[in-house]
Amino acid sequence: MKIIINILCAGVILCLVQACLSDDSGGEIPNIPIDNSFDDSFDDSIVGTIPCENGMAGIYPCDGFDLLGRISLNGFSASSGNDIWGWTDTTTNREYALVALNNGTAFVDISDTDNLIYLGKLSTETSASSWRDVKVYQDHAFIVSEAAGHGMQIFDLTRLRNVSNPPESFDTDGHYSGFGNAHNIVINEETGFAYAVGTDRNDAFGGGVHFINIQDPVNPIAAGGYGANGYTHDAQVITYSGPDTDYTAKEIFIGANEDQVAIVDITDKNNPIEITTIQYSNTSYTHQGWFTEDQRYFILGDELDEINFGFDSRTLVFDLLDVDNPILHTTYFGETGAIDHNGYVKGDEFFLANYTAGIRVLDISAIDGKTISEKGFFDTYPTNDTAGFDGVWSIYPFFESGKIVIGDINSGLFVIQKSN
């Protein structure tokens, strides 16, 4: 029964799931039950560093990462967690976690990990949903959800400087209604465009991508879209500066489109041009990927291959030396059978949200030579490391301080950092 539920959670490629989707649904089925049984405390927070010693930080298995703090779902008055992002206020140098929850988005000041401050929540625009996603541009948060009719919420993050009586109930500073539900949102901060993906499969772009000009953050403007390669589950959009000079300074969309990767030149929003698509063997659900910082390699995860083929966590690396002709460079198999979800590159490290196996940190410094190795982890779901949809949904590893924030489906917010 658990396997059936897990497949329903992510597998829109299955006929059964497609039959269950309503016209207003995106890529996944909402309201999957969350198992919190392993959590023995449900305390609102853990403050103060718990070092990783002898492979454990308190009840959490670890290697090379200390626990700095935690706020549970109970502390957020939520029943499940999902995506997470971060924001650094360059005026005050304070750091904030933006924690996506089933019923809204919570804002937490993590600057002093001995005193995590839950500043307040922006409630969902319409109804609760197991899927919510948030990104940042020009000190504003942009939030989408699978909730029907949700659209895109816009929140001025500088308001967090002046919270006098936390936690507050926040309202929006803007709203975009050019789509209803969306599975995810992508932002290219260099161009000031947002890209809503995983929208209704029957909309103008067939669940592909909506282009939105957010250069004036609270007054977004529709700018077209693209759906020729079908439904887009997740994506990255970059201003290209990689090794293929044919695309220098072009705005490139690379989408995880369920059974393929779509690479599209979207420089001219009125005339998107497909460059190529990527297929690979043992495809189950093409989920999410991220470029290396030199934009040579694209690191991709397939969300259902561990379940359907029995792989240990599989990460595929494609070489885009020639963007028109990507080739599979190497495949990395992780230390457990847990499902890989969202992954991000910072320097020579790949930070992978690995569901029940927690966050896994991979050394990609020798990726040219096809060598990838695990260098550390922090497991927020100590019950098991099997292929299931519990544990870490996503991570944000980009704070200059080195703090990493984790969004856990079952347990809320974790703040960790490399051990000294």
Q: Map tokens 């650094």 to a residue.
A: 88
Report d(CA 356, CA 382) in Å as an integer.
8
Mean pLDDT across 14-43: 39
Mean pLDDT across 143-149: 98
What pLDDT shows up at residue 2?
33
Mean pLDDT across 286-307: 98
Residue pair 296/321 in contact by the 8 Å Cβ criterion: yes
Q: Which of 171, 124, 114, 123 is nearest to 146 (CA)?
A: 124
What pLDDT shows up at residue 48?
80
Q: Where are the alpha helices (DSSP H) in 293-341?
A: 305-309
**Cα(first)–Cα(last) distance of the chain, in Å?**
43
What pLDDT shows up at residue 389?
97
> 277-286, pLDDT tens digit by residue?
999 999 999 9
Q: Which of 191, 294, 289, 291 is nearest to 241 (CA)?
A: 294
Tokens of 330: 């190497």
Could you tell me which residue, 305 or 45, shows the higher pLDDT?
305
Task: Give the total number of structural domains in the chain.
Answer: 1
User: Which domain range does residue 285 map to?
Assistant: 2-418
Report d(CA 252, CA 266) in Å as an integer.
6
Residue pair 58/237 in contact by the 8 Å Cβ criterion: no
| Contacts of 95 by beta carbon, 8 Å cutoff, 6+ apart | 86, 87, 88, 89, 109, 110, 111, 399, 401, 403
**Angle (CA) 310 316 317, round 5°:** 165
Cβ neighbours of 375 (radius 10 Å): 17
Mean pLDDT across 345-366: 98
What pLDDT shows up at residue 44?
57
What pLDDT shows up at residue 45?
66
Report d(CA 308, CA 267) in Å as an integer.
37
Report the side by side order of strands in the sheet with 343-346. Answer: 56-57, 60-63, 373-378, 359-363, 349-353, 343-346
What pLDDT shows up at residue 10?
39
What pLDDT shows up at residue 43?
53
> 85-132, pLDDT tens digit by residue?
999 999 999 999 999 999 999 999 999 999 999 999 999 999 999 999
> 319-342, pLDDT tens digit by residue?
999 999 999 999 999 999 999 999
Report d(CA 355, CA 386) in Å as an integer.
9
Q: Where are the beta strands (DSSP E) in 150-233?
A: 152-156, 168-170, 174-176, 184-188, 193-197, 209-213, 221-226
Burial (CB < 10 A; 0-12, 13-18, 19+), residue 346, is middle
Q: Indicate which CATH number applies to the domain containing 110.
A: 2.130.10.10
Mean pLDDT across 68-76: 97
Mean pLDDT across 231-240: 98
